[in-house]
Structures are given as structure tokens and as C-alpha cells.
Structure 1
């Protein structure tokens, strides 16, 4: 699979816009309801919904800024806790998903942090009916190792995402849904590393080994 940087950036922007449409739309609808509502209790409810939508929007923007963009500057290492806070924010409003963390390093290179974030996003999306997300990451002897495991009923995983992770998605079939996985494949190639996934009926395991990242 060969994809230009411009095409990949365009598809990542499309993905960001798609994911932001729902919470931003909820903000707009809430403001319209608030403008017309006179009942004090209903106005309070509208304000609570606006607050929730604003927090979800902010959490997603912070996530995508580092997962897709140039956030974190150009330093060699980024605190792993930043990634943890961002992933926790994505599931904060979803009581059906629980997260277990095993982080052996305080900081990791930026390509590894991007991989960790995008693996986390893929893992969350694989649990539409809820479940458990186990995330482990370690920087050892200059090599970043990342494992994300989603376990729950009826795992949802688009095979095209798997093919994009492997670099096996046919040219012309890349979409905004598979663009994050294609980006991870490029990052892995640039570091001389590799990605892999294992899919079962009740679990999805994503793994990355990134030398020098």
C-alpha cells in the first residue's frame, strides 16, 4: 500500500471531523433548546447536557491533536501519562468499558505515543457492547513495546483496518476509517519496527515493537 502524505493527512482530517460531528452537533442542539426553554428544571438539564458535550469535545480534540497531529513538540520523549489521560478521557462517559494499565516507563518517543493512542482508539471501537481494555507499554533498551487487548462480547473489528496495519490494503481502498491504521504502518516502517494483531470472537490483541521509538 502506497499513500501520499497529502492523501493521508486529508483522510485523517476527515476522520477527525467525522468523530467531532456528534459532540459539536449536540452542543449546537443544546444551545437551541436552551434559548427556547423557560422551565427552570429543563434549563438546568440543558446546561448539564451542554457541559457534558463540551467536555467530550475537548477530550476528543486533545486526543486527536497528539494521536494525529504535531502536539508534544519535537522532543525525543513524551510522558506516557499524557496518553493515559487522553485514553481515559475517551471512555470517561462509557461505564461499560473498564481499562487496566501496565506502564513500565514514564516517557516514550513520540511515534510510540501515537501508536499507543491509536491502538487505544481501535481497542475502544472494538467494544461496542462494552468490555475490558488492557494496555501495556514499555521502553526497553531503546525499543518501545506496546500491547493493547480488547476483551468483550462480539468484538467489532474491520478487517480493512487490520490490512492497513499490515500495509496490505490495496491502493485506492484507503478511507478515513482506515487512515489511522495506515499512519501507524508508516510510523512502524520508519522506525524499522512492526505491528501485528490477533482477532478472536471475544478478544482483539494489537501489538507493536518499535526500535528507536
Structure 2
């Protein structure tokens, strides 16, 4: 077992932590302006952009940040993050898991969701179901276009030496699966993507 800290994940956690505070302050400032200024498209655009940025950073912190098996993440925190993410984009995320989830399992779930996002170029719906130790992810949309090579590497827990920044989620998820030796099943087709882990 590797006892060395994951420096990349720690850096992501630090960056996300440091960005959340100023973005939240901007959001609070916009709310104050809305109370004293007639509503207009400019304030609405700023408010929506800040909410979108905060939601993405929370998502990135769970997906790419540091995670341990002994730290639980509450269902309400997960639902809050995914609801905010759903309001700010073309994808709808639904968390149907009733219990709290270990942070490392949530990390893998969010990485796999990020993989799935790329297979839904026109948007769609991503649903998480099951229990904390046996999660399922299903994704459907008007157009499903998974990258066959990226998904095949994920199935086998391999990382491409030529991986690009846009494929980071595939590489990190594959490495996590290989280290944990967890079983993974994936079905991709023209109507959707189904993952169990």
C-alpha cells in the first residue's frame, strides 16, 4: 500500500478551497445589489455565473481532490451540490442514494460522472442509485457518444501515456479502480451509459 500523499489531489483541494470563499463573497454582494437595485439582465447573468462557478468547483473538489475512506459525506451535501450543478448546465444530476457515502467512493462516483458527461454532448440526465458500497450510475440523453478508446481503458483500469487534460477523469478513475481492485461493469450504447461499482 502506498503511504505517500496524493500531492495532485491535495493541490486540487487547496485550490478549490481558496476559490470558494471569494466566489461566495461575490455571490453575497450580488444578492445585496439585487435588494437595492432594480432587477436587470446584468445582475442575473453575474448571479447565474457565480452559482455555476461555485457548483463546478464543489464538484471538482469531490472528483479531483483528496479523499479518504474514513470520512463520510452527508447525503444533503451531495444533493445540494448536484442540484446547484443541475441548475447551471445542460445536464440534470439526481442522487437517489439514501445513506452517507465514504469520500473515496464519492470521488470515484464524481469521476465516473465526469467521464459520462463527455458521452452526452447535447446534455441529458445522470442518476446515481444503489447503496454506498454498491453504487450504480446511469446516464441518458438525446445523443450518446462515448469515446470507445477512453471507455475501454477505463474498463481495464489502464491509463493512456498520451492522456490529455480533457481525459484526466478517465485516467484518475482507472488508477483508483486498479489500486482498490474494485469490480466495475460498464455498458455503453446509443441510448445511454450504465456503470456499476
- TM-score normalised per structure 1: 0.66
Q: Which runs of 5+ in 2 are unaligned?
A: 16-22, 27-36
Q: Which has the higher strand share?
A: 1
Among 164, 177, 180, the alignment partner of 1:188 is 177
Alignment check: 8 A CA contact 2:69 2:104 kept: no
Q: Is the 8 A contact 1:160 1:178 kept in 2?
A: no
Which fold has the larger relative contact order, with Cα–Cα distance below 8 Å and residues 6 or more apart in sequence?
Answer: 1
* Structure 2 Cα separation of the partners of residues 9 and 161 of structure 1: 21
In structure 1, the residue matched to 2:41 is 45
By how many angstroms is 1:100 displaced? 4.3
Q: Which residue of 2 aligns with 1:107?
A: 100
Instruction: Show the counterpart of 1:147.
Output: 136
Q: Runs of 5+ in structure 1 lacking a partner?
A: 17-23, 28-39, 209-213
* Residues 52-201 of structure 1 mapped to structure 2, 5 A cutoff: 52-70=48-66, 75-94=70-89, 97-104=91-98, 106-139=99-132, 144-165=133-154, 166-170=156-160, 172-201=161-190
CA 1:181/1:80 → structure 2, altered by over 3 Å: closer, same or farther? Answer: farther
Aligned residue for 2:164, secondary structure, equals coil
Determine if contact 2:158/2:175 at 8 Å carries over to the other structure: no
Report the CA distance between 1:89 and its aligned residue: 2.2
Contact 1:87–1:117 (CA<8 Å) still a contact in 2?
no
Deviates more, 1:199-208 or 1:75-84: 75-84
Q: How many equivalent residue pairs?
A: 172
Separation in 2, partners of 1:74, 1:199: 29
**What is the CA distance between 1:60 and its match in structure 2?**
0.8
Cα root mean square deviation, aligned = 3.4
Please, what TM-score do these two structures have when normalized by structure 2?
Answer: 0.70
Preserved CA contact (<8 Å) 1:83 1:117: no
Post-superposition shift, 1:137?
3.4
The secondary structure found in structure 1 opposite 2:88 is: coil
Determine helix, strand or coil for the equivalent of 1:173: coil
Cα deviation digits, residues 54-82 of structure 1 (max 9, x gap): 111111111111211127x7743222443
Compute the displacement of 1:153 (Å). 2.3
Distance 1:161 1:84 in 2: 28
The CA distance in 2 between the partners of 1:91 and 1:47, in whole Å, is: 20
Relative to total residues, which structure has the larger helix share, 1 or 2? 2
- Is contact 1:197–1:206 with CA below 8 Å preserved after alignment? yes
Structure 1 segments of 4+ aligned residues over 6 angstroms from their partners: none
